[in-house]
Amino acid sequence: MPGFFGRFFRLSMHRLAFALAAIALMLGSAAHAASSYAQTRYPIVLVHGIFGFDSFLGTDYFYGIPGALTQDGARVFVAQVSAANSHEVRGEQLLAQVKNILAITGASKVNIIGHSQGSPTARYVAGVAPGLVASVTSVGGVNKGSRVADIVRGVVPVGSIPEAVANSVAQAFAAFINLGSGGLGLAQMPVAALDALTTEGSLRFNQRFPQAIPAGCGSGAELVNGVRYYSWAGTQPVTNLLDPLDGPIGLLSLAFSEPNDGLVAACATRLGKHLGDYRQNHLDEVNQVVGLRDWFSVDPVTLYRQHANRLKLLGL
């Protein structure tokens, strides 16, 4: 890393100023050209996963995403729900915030986009108050559980995974949580969250909220009770060696024997119309850490912008 930054500092001031001016010009023209691209009829509400912060490593959890959507004409709100709790508790918190957003904006519905546990959190709101929700979109959503949660909770069937691998995964998960959330230890994480994220806990939740959950690995119903459902996912655990969390995520991926993003199997993320799988790990899905992702693959921010445009064209 020092070498990486050193090269930047060795740039002459002249070249640096020129580069900054060029970037400012590009951003200015992009903002002008794309000013209504993401201008959805209903406000967009972003819902975070288990880390439970509106910022992650000192930055926005959805890194650069609210700004990009706003620049393209969307009204964007970032929800703040419990760091770690059941889908139902987080869902009630989100429902209250949705009602506030509707009161503030005068809108009759919202478009909710949830990452990780943010997906079942959003599904709860759509399930109990479908009239307030235009769409629910799952990004790397834990809709059918996480094998990592199964291992950490010790509910993986005996013999289904080597003990050494299980131990590595549990330790990597603890390190991952510590790194990602500035010292929140695994022990502080409420058991309710982990239980909800296990395969068994997710199946229980899905019995109560089956809307748009597919039977297999394909798409589910796109329209249920007037609410549209969408999902996309990552299937590449290690994408950028400069990202300090790629190591732990790579270890977590050892828990899986199928395509996954390091924390969730691709098939467990499906909800409504499946929009695609991408070369992203669980944190690339929210453009973390600070935009460190597979630079030869699609920009995660672009997927959010394209989806907002999709919702706009549907009149949502």
Interacting residues with Ca ion (CB under 5 A): 243, 283-284, 292-293
E-strand ranges in the chain read 44-47, 55-56, 59-60, 76-78, 110-115, 133-139, 223-224, 227-234, 273-278
Q: Which of 68, 149, 111 is nearest to 272 (CA)?
A: 111
Q: Which of 88, 142, 79 is nearest to 111 (CA)?
A: 79
Least distance in angstroms from the C-beta of 289 to Ca ion: 6
Catalytic, out of 82, 86, 116, 202 = 116
Q: Is 60 a catalytic residue?
A: no
When the beta carbons of 138 and 239 are compared against Ca ion, the nearer one is: 239
Least distance in angstroms from the C-beta of 102 to Ca ion: 34
When the beta carbons of 123 and 293 are compared against Ca ion, the nearer one is: 293
CA distance 272 to 152: 28
* Amino acid making up residue 14: H
CA distance 157 to 30: 52
Q: Is 282 a catalytic residue?
A: yes
CA distance 102 to 108: 6
When the beta carbons of 178 and 297 are compared against Ca ion, the nearer one is: 297
Catalytic, out of 243, 282, 284, 294 = 282
CA distance 1 to 6: 8
When the beta carbons of 181 and 309 are compared against Ca ion, the nearer one is: 181
Specify the residue for token string 């695609």. Answer: 276
Rg (CA), the chain: 20
CA distance 31 to 35: 6
Catalytic, out of 60, 243, 246, 261 = 261
When the beta carbons of 134 and 292 are compared against Ca ion, the nearer one is: 292
CA distances from 280 to 78, 220, 238, 252, 299 (A): 22, 22, 8, 14, 10
* 244: Cα within 13 Å, side-chain hemisphere: 10
When the beta carbons of 108 and 302 are compared against Ca ion, the nearer one is: 302
Kindly report the CA angle at 90 between 89 and 92, in degrees rounded to 5? 65
Give the catalytic positions in this structure: 116, 261, 282
